[in-house]
Amino acid sequence: MERLSDPYTIRYPQIVAVADESGGHVELIEFFDCTGGAMWVKRHYAQSPLVCSVRTVGATNRYILSAGSADLALEGSVFPAGIAAVAVQGDEIAVTYRGLGGGGVGASICRASASGVVRHKSDPAGGGRLAGSTIWLPRRERVVIGIDDTDTPEEGATWTLAHNIARAVEDDRSRYLSHTIVQLYPVPYRTKNCVAIACEFATSDPGGLARHYRDLLTEYTLSEETGMAVWRGFDTAPLEEFGGKVKRGEVSADDLAAITDGRLSVLMDGRGAIGAVAAIPFFTRYEEALALWNGSG
């Protein structure tokens, strides 16, 4: 019979954090292995004063946090665990968790041993004790790469190429977070389905990441009209209006050229650049991204 090496610990596979430019807000992305535990955490941690919002995306819980500290009025069954402090310190982000009983186990060693943690300070946990930990994570920024028009009527598929390149460029400095297929308005010159792709990363090397991605895309694309765009920034909302236009109807290169936000770079400027930029604001917004806005939506 197989023995359990650590029967009362479930380690988070990975924890990643991105900060906004000011350091005032952080998105904490916790990859989970135990769905039941993750849903319990999501429900209770949402009560923490520093948690602005929380949502589940694939096998991750993603928390928007305000920097600061807060006293947690923990109470069994009612509010048994939460996030007590968030600090952006130079090139690191510190997050402090507190919990009671089993919630204290999750708040301490389960997170302290996760991949991505630079160092930690944690309490003994288990039984009915109050316990917690502080973990330090590399400060990363959000980069969303938009891709469109890599295939031909005879071969290829943009969504598969985008994902495979994203996996290939992932390293200790750049973590691949999400892949979103975005339905665009079906223009006459589409290959077939007229979709673009947004690949999201948390990175401390945005320039190197973008160059590596572009080099592989240049090597493997099958189209002469490939577009690749890169957004560096916590919030992609400035591109929402443009993205909506491209989902509703045909948009010209002049419309794309009118975007002057310095956080956006177009690294491959084929006809697909329009769709590449349009895909970016829809990252992880899967229902909206996949909807066909046929001109009246």
pLDDT tens, residue by residue, 126-160: 777 888 899 999 999 999 999 999 987 778 889 99
State the pLDDT confidence band at 184, using cuts at 50, 70 and 90: very high
pLDDT over 70 at 79, yes or no: yes
Give mean pLDDT, residues 236-245: 97
pLDDT over 60 at 175, yes or no: yes
In CATH terms, the fold of domain 141-290 is Alpha-Beta Plaits (3.30.70)
State the pLDDT confidence band at 107, using cuts at 50, 70 and 90: confident
pLDDT at 43: 97
Report yes or no: 75 and 98 within 8 Å, Cβ to Cβ: no
**pTM for the full predicted model:** 0.94
Cα dist from 33 to 53, 59, 91, 171, whole Å: 21, 7, 28, 21
pLDDT over 70 at 206, yes or no: yes
State the pLDDT confidence band at 297, using cuts at 50, 70 and 90: very low
Q: Where do the CATH 3.30.70.2200 domains begin and end in the chain?
A: 141-290
pLDDT over 60 at 190, yes or no: no
Task: Return phi, psi of residue 244, to 5°.
Answer: -65, -40
Report yes or no: 135 and 87 within 8 Å, Cβ to Cβ: no
